[in-house]
Amino acid sequence: MGLLSVAQEYLHFGRAAPAVLVLVLCWCWETVYPRVGGRQGRIRHAALNLSMAAINGLILFFTLGLATTLLSLWVAEHKFGLLFLLDIGWIGRLIVGFLLIDAWAYLWHRINHNFDFLWRFHRIHHNDYEMDCTTSARFHFGELGIAATTRLPVIVIFGLEPLPILFHETILIAVSQFHHSNIKLGWWDQLLRWLIVTPALHHVHHSRDLPKTNSNYASILSVWDRLFHSFYIPEPTQNIELGLKGYLDPCWHTVAGMLKTPLAEVIHDSTIKFETPDLQITNNAKPL
Ligand SMILES: [Zn+2]
Ligand SMILES: [Zn+2]
């Protein structure tokens, strides 16, 4: 079976299976042990977020998704890019490639918070004030399309093959569903956050208090926030309100409302979103 067939098989079946499995597990976990209990309208909320995922899939699957796969196949076939200059074998390229993609995801997310044009799209993800595992699917196709386009040169420069890309994507979906989940892990959160982004870390990123939103940008590995001084853990007594001021009206929480959000101007967006929180680079705070 050639690389192209593997990629095609994965595109069709493999990618969906772990995503659906982890989503179902997280959904059940939220149902039994929710961080915030007594939520109403969970099905409607999930349907809304998953509708965005369906729209994104329809628009991006055979466009930028396919372009990414084909470009990485070309890179692998021609052994093009910086990673091929290192004598580290395919496992080495898999690990280093995974780290590079995750570092790029961190950087790109941070850029999204600092440029008005990109923030217009990214705020759809942040305006979910009832965050749960389905929020991991709540993105505007504009954001995902721009992200995929800007990653294409990264693939060529570093020589990222299909395997690290697909590996990263699979882990990303699982970890993203996990850290968006409405669950409370207690001390496990403190332990896990040494390695990956946990629910407590990512809940802060979705804080309604925008200065705190500009922290904890990492997607999978939490090391990037520690390295680049954006790691933030609030005091355990701190109440975190989710969502975005200015987007609490029900009109923003429909498929049409989310699709047109990038066109909306909200003044306080550009006046306070560049502030940074008083960063607390520690892992010793009590769990949320
Ligand atoms: Zn964000
Ligand atoms: Zn998020």
Distance CA 193, CA 200 (A): 9
Asked if residues 10 and 99 have their Cβ atoms less than 8 Å apart, the reply is no
Per-residue pLDDT of the chain (288 residues; tens, 9 = 90+): 566 666 656 555 667 788 899 999 999 999 999 988 888 899 999 999 999 999 999 999 889 988 999 999 999 999 999 999 999 999 999 999 999 999 999 999 999 999 999 999 999 999 999 999 999 999 999 999 999 999 999 999 999 999 999 999 999 999 999 999 999 898 999 999 999 999 999 999 999 887 788 999 999 999 999 999 999 987 765 678 899 888 888 999 999 999 999 998 754 544 344 344 444 434 333 333
Distance CA 105, CA 111 (A): 10
Please give the model's pTM, rounded to 2 decimal places. Answer: 0.88
Task: State in Å: Cα 61 to ligand 1 middle.
Answer: 23
Asked if residues 180 and 131 have their Cβ atoms less than 8 Å apart, the reply is yes
Asked if residues 233 and 283 have their Cβ atoms less than 8 Å apart, the reply is yes
Distance CA 145, CA 161 (A): 20
Q: Is residue 192 part of a domain?
A: yes
Q: Residues 6 or more apart from 202 whose CB is under 8 A from it?
A: 179, 180, 216
Asked if residues 83 and 93 have their Cβ atoms less than 8 Å apart, the reply is yes
Q: Is residue 169 part of a domain?
A: yes
**HSE (side-chain half, CA atoms, 13 Å) at 91:** 0
Query: What angle (nearest 5°) sits at the alpha carbon of residue 260, between those of residues 68 and 49?
Result: 65
Asked if residues 206 and 242 have their Cβ atoms less than 8 Å apart, the reply is yes
Largest Cα span, the chain: 55
Q: In this structure, is the dihedral angle defined by the CA atoms of residues 145, 146, 151 and 157, taken in order, positive or negative?
A: positive
Ligand nearest to the CA of 197: 2
Task: State in Å: Cα 126 to ligand 1 middle.
Answer: 7
Task: State in Å: Cα 272 to ligand 2 middle.
Answer: 19
Q: Residues 6 or more apart from 199 whose CB is under 8 A from it?
A: 35, 178, 179, 180, 181, 182, 183, 184, 185, 189
Task: State in Å: Cα 78 to ligand 2 middle.
Answer: 36
Number of structural domains (the chain) is: 1
User: What is the CB neighbour count within 10 angstroms for residue 169?
Assistant: 17
Task: State in Å: Cα 6 to ligand 2 middle.
Answer: 30
Residue of 220, 231, 227, 150 whose CA lies nearest to 192 = 220
The domain containing residue 267 runs over which residues?
2-283
Ligand nearest to the CA of 213: 1
Q: Is residue 288 part of a domain?
A: no
How confident is the model at residue 3, as a pLDDT? 60
How confident is the model at residue 27, as a pLDDT? 95
Q: Is residue 152 part of a domain?
A: yes
Task: State in Å: Cα 80 to ligand 2 middle.
Answer: 33
Q: Is residue 230 part of a domain?
A: yes
Tokens standing for 123?
Answer: 């705020």
How confident is the model at residue 197, as a pLDDT? 97
